[in-house]
Amino acid sequence: MSKKIAALLLKLLLAAAGFFAVTFTVYFFNLDMKLTSKIEPFLLRHYDKMERNTSL
Amino acid sequence: MIRQENWKRQGDQQLGVLFDDGKVRRRREWRGVKDTLYDYGRWLGIMKILATFIAKPRNVKAMFRYRWMANYLAVPHMVDKFTMGLRDEALRIVHTSMDFVVYDVAKTMDNVFRGDRKTGNDKAFSDKCVLTDENAMTAFMMGFPTLKAILREVPTMFVANLLTQYSTTHYLDVAQQFGIPGDVCPMPEAEAGISIEDDFPVLGACAVQVNTTCDGSLMGNGIIAKRLEREYGIPTFQLVAPMRHREADVQDYAAGDIKQAIAFIEEHTDEKWDWKNYFECAKRVNEATRTRLAWLDINATDYPQFVGAPFSLYNDTNYMGNCGRSPDFPLVDAKILKYAETGCTEKRMMAPEYRHRAIIWGVQPQYCIDMLNWMVHCWGIVPLTDMLSLVNTKMIAEEDTPENREQAYYDMAWLNENMIMRNRTHGGYRVLVDELWEFCEQLHADMVIMWEHMSCKALDGMHGQFEEQAREKGIHLVWVCHDLCDPRVYTRQAIRDQLNVYMRTVLREEPLDPSIEFLPDENAW
Amino acid sequence: MKDLKHLIYFENLLQTANNALITQAKEEGGVCVAYTCENVPEPLMNLGPAFSVRLFAPNTVSLDISTYYMTGFLCESSRALLERAVEGGFNFADCVISPDGCTMINRCVENMELLHTMGEGNDRFFHQYMEIPLKADENGLGLYVVQCQNHVLNPLHEHYGIDISEEAIRKAVTKHNRVCELIRAIGDFRKEEHPRITGYEFHVLTLATYVCPKHLLIEKLEETLEELKTREPDAKPYRARVAVVGSEIDDSGLIKLIEETGAYVCADRFCFGSLPGRDPIVLTEQEDALTQICRQYMYRCQCPRMMNMAKVYGRKEYVSKIAKEYGADGVIYEQVKFCDPWAYERTLGSSMLREDYGFPVLSVDRPYNIASSSGQMRTRVQAFVESIEIKKLKKGEGV
């Protein structure tokens, strides 16, 4: 029983460590912003193509 | 000058290492183990807010419908701008305040898209919404607990420009194509451009516009109201805030118009004004006022704590957009105050030297909002407070009595008149010029950083008076010209250079951190 | 057409702010009440010996000093006024009454005060700033009355002993109306197919009624009206009739320039113009005169700072109404450069007049003194006149 708990804890710990390693890498190297900055031009092109009801 | 001999910033010393010529920073800052982990934890929190927001289909739809939504890709980048170089309590204060602002704006946007006819289209919800201006005190909503005040221009224009510097340029071009000249204030002009391009979400049972903050803002409202009324059938009410707001003989007028605004909202929403709720909100307004004054007291000491753009932006959100209506703000206020008190007692500093204590006057450049933080690290100038944060200090009536119910209209009017910025830019030269020198004395400032928003006629009109009176009083007055939200007119570096030149040529000082004197951020968000 | 007998006389009065009639009125014991915005009710500044003079700065060239004090981004009207004040050009004023109308004029007057540009040697001199309503409603009316009482009537009484009684106000309204009736009668000739007065001449006469003591103009205006009744108009038709709408035109040269292109300025809906500035004030016995004056000023006001939507739409409707009444083929929306209220108003106005009311519209900004860039304006107006002519031709050909 205790082995199972220990294994579960280990899994949780590994998952937490994995989560931390991945997210901290994203955080520290600013990968989130580097990714979204690549998305922005596509969105802007999409907005440019939209039909709009432009009037005063 | 205040200097701590053994002061050393944990982690990165030269902040210039974070910048390259790109849109975003090279990496995030190393702040030592403890503060980096703290910052990382807050980043996770921001990510959670964004994930919760984008999980809703209507918000995804909005992302593809509204051009200004693209700016929200840069939310974590904005928070990084405000926390640059900060450690200890200062870092925690900025995160506590700005992360809450992020949460509040996300909530506002979620509400906006829920009711928006073009995305969420929840009509029943929309019928319980009242549109208001970005620059409006929402005091007239304090007695409507079941209604939502939607400050539609805050996410579309105001916050968007804090996020990315070029957010308004497209809308300015649209407005100018329709004949609005390029010399008016770009903020209402961009808002008019958003309306012209039909890029505003459309919702609400009715709308209340206010003649804040300036002639341009007042006039831009007409363009926006025409479309709301004639195309979308949303009735509008124009609420008056008198110009000479310190005069006793305008207060009846202001209070009278508040009564009319409330009657207008009641008529269009079938809701009744709730005095009990009003006085609960009034208590919170007073609490917020007391806390703001306590922060300013701390900033008057040698160890200011809650400073710069976050001080201003948090106060804007709390004082104006919230105006006592949310029970969440007092909790955040108290937390910030606790950090500020600890920081002051522990004599925490943000830089090794505080060479100058500055009052920030005028209107901030939205697209270069992190300049105040930059000048602490680059030149050791502490921004003690800014014009936009020096608003109402009077306590309003908070007990529900028959006399106070009448007084309440005057209190709401007073708050409306003392909306940020316009309480200084209007009301005569005494509130704009004379009181600046009084604040310099109270906060022991030796320097005024004068944001000269070139299209702000109310401020420009006193240019010579500022110049001459500062000289007489022996205060260093540094003109920093900008165009509020159009970086094509003044780039960020052109803005910073004005301070750089003053520091080097007039004061003959060298920067504390030379690596950030020139930042390659012209293409950055 | 044969020259108007008194045209040169009126033109000369507009060559300097401190004109001969102000000197004469002051020598006769008059109290000169200077003002800067048409939202201050004129009759209240013309009680007893008091006479109103609207500040303007003819023949402005340099704006150096005012640009230092207010930067180059403030409208040229406000800078021209401050420049003239600093030069000592308004020293004749015994007081200045200025509403917080548009921000720039307000700043201009505040600078005048802080720089002590007027009132030297006159210990009774005063500055007064007043609030004026931003909407036309009964709440606004209450404010207007209080403000006129506190910032116009009471100071005049306290500083100069001016009689501010009901009787005095009614008497002032009668005098004011006489000038309005004369200007209106003269202006009505502009409705004719072959008008017997040019837009330029009419502008000179109208402007004079704002910048001179009015009572000293009545005789000449009466003679001019008589003269016009028999004046032979030119047989040659104008190429296009236009209504001019926008911020104040202190320089009649602009109207002249427009007419030099072959157009005829048939209606003047700008600050300090005759529509509706020279509408007589109708008083009844049922209510006090002050309230009635304020009500009429507030409801007829066409200032873009009036922000309720009834006013926003009403302003365009008014332009359409006068354009039809005076037979305009097109509308010129103009603004002094850097004027925020008129910048927005001309954008919305030109769009609505074009789309909702079907008028051809020219939308332009301009300098305070048109002489500083007349070529550009001439080209714009010429093109506009040609476009109207082409429209007329096409209409005639049934295209």
Among C27, C34, C3, C115, CA closest to C70: C115
pLDDT at B6: 80
In this prediction the ipTM stands at 0.95
Chain A nearest C-alpha distance from B175 (Å): 9
Distance of residue B22 Cα from the nearest chain A Cα, in angstroms = 9
Using alpha carbons only, what angle is made at residue B169 by residues B164 and B172, rounded to the nearest 5 degrees?
140
Q: Which two tokens stand for residue B220?
A: 């831009």
Measure the CA–CA gap between C233 and C266, rounded to whole angstroms.
14
pLDDT band at C373 (very low <50, low <70, confident <90, very high): confident
Q: For residue C344, which residues of chain A lie inside 8 Å, CB to CB?
A: none
Q: What are C160-173's pLDDT values in tens digits? A: 999 999 999 999 99
Residue C398 confidence (pLDDT): 61
The pLDDT value given to residue B79? 97
Cα dist from B286 to B135, B280, B283, B396, whole Å: 20, 10, 5, 7
pLDDT digit string, tens, across residues C117-132: 999 999 999 999 999 9
Indicate the burial class of B110 (C-beta count within 10 angstroms; 0-12, 13-18, 19 or more): middle
Say if CB C239 and CB C263 are below 8 A apart. Answer: yes
Taking alpha carbons only, the member of C47, C126, C58 closest to residue C93 is C126
In eight-state DSSP terms, residue C97 is E
Flag whether pLDDT at C306 surpasses 70.
yes
Strand partners, C52: C33
Q: Residue B289: what are its φ and ψ, rounded to 5°?
A: -65, -45
Q: What is the pLDDT of residue B213?
A: 79
Token code pair at residue B20: 């390259």
Picking from B183, B223, B232, B239 by the largest number of C CB atoms within 10 A of its own CB, the best residue to mutate is: B183
Residue B245 three-state SS? coil
The pLDDT value recorded for residue C372 is 85
Q: Please, are residues B239 and B210 in contact by the beta-carbon 8 Å criterion?
A: yes
pLDDT of amino acid B134: 85
Q: Of how many residues is chain A composed?
A: 56
Put simply, whether C108 touches B (Cβ < 8 Å) is yes
Of A24, A30, A39, the CB nearest to B25: A30
Interchain contact A1–C (C-beta under 8 A): no
Q: Look at A56 and B64 and tell me if their CB atoms are within 8 Å.
A: no
- In whole numbers, what is the pLDDT of chain C averaged over residues? 96
| B435 sits in which H/E element | helix B435-442
Where do the domains of chain A lie?
2-49
Over residues B405-422, the pLDDT tens digits come to 999 999 999 999 999 999
Chains with 3 or more CB pairs under 8 A to chain C: A, B
* Residue B65 distance to chain A (closest CA, Å): 8
Q: CA–CA distance from C87 to each of B57, C33, C104, C249 (Å)?
A: 66, 19, 19, 22
Which residue bears the tokens 């830019």?
A: B425
Contact in structure between C125 and C180 (CB atoms under 8 Å)? no
Residue B240 is classified by DSSP as -
* Shortest Cα distance, chain B CAs vs residue C241, angstroms: 23
Both tokens assigned to A52:
């709009």
Identify the DSSP state of B145: T
pLDDT computed for residue C399 by the predictor = 54
Chain A: residue whose CA lies nearest to C348:
A56
The domain segmentation of chain B, as residue ranges, is 2-516
pLDDT of residue C382: 97
Q: Are B218 and B211 in contact (CB under 8 A)?
A: yes
Grade residue C388 by pLDDT with cuts at 50, 70 and 90: very high
Q: Tokens 């004082």 correspond to what residue?
A: B319
Chain B residues closer than 8 Å to C307 by CB: 209, 211, 218, 221-222, 238, 240
With a cut of 70, list the residues of chain B below it in pLDDT.
none
A56 touching C, CB under 8 A? yes
What is the pLDDT at residue B400? 98
Write the residue in B238, B426, B460 that is nearest to C70 by C-beta.
B460
Task: Dump pLDDT digits (tens) for C127-160.
Answer: 999 999 999 999 999 999 999 999 999 999 999 9
Residues C96 and C34: their CA atoms lie apart, in Å, by 5
C73 neighbourhood in chain B, CB within 8 Å? 183, 454-455, 457, 460
How sure is the predictor about C328, in pLDDT bands with cuts at 50, 70 and 90?
very high
Tally of CA atoms within 13 A in the half-sphere of B231 that contains its CB: 17
How far apart CA B160 and CA B170 sit, in angstroms, is 12
Residue C157 identity (one-letter amino acid) = H
- Per-residue pLDDT of C346-356, as tens digits, reads 999 999 999 99
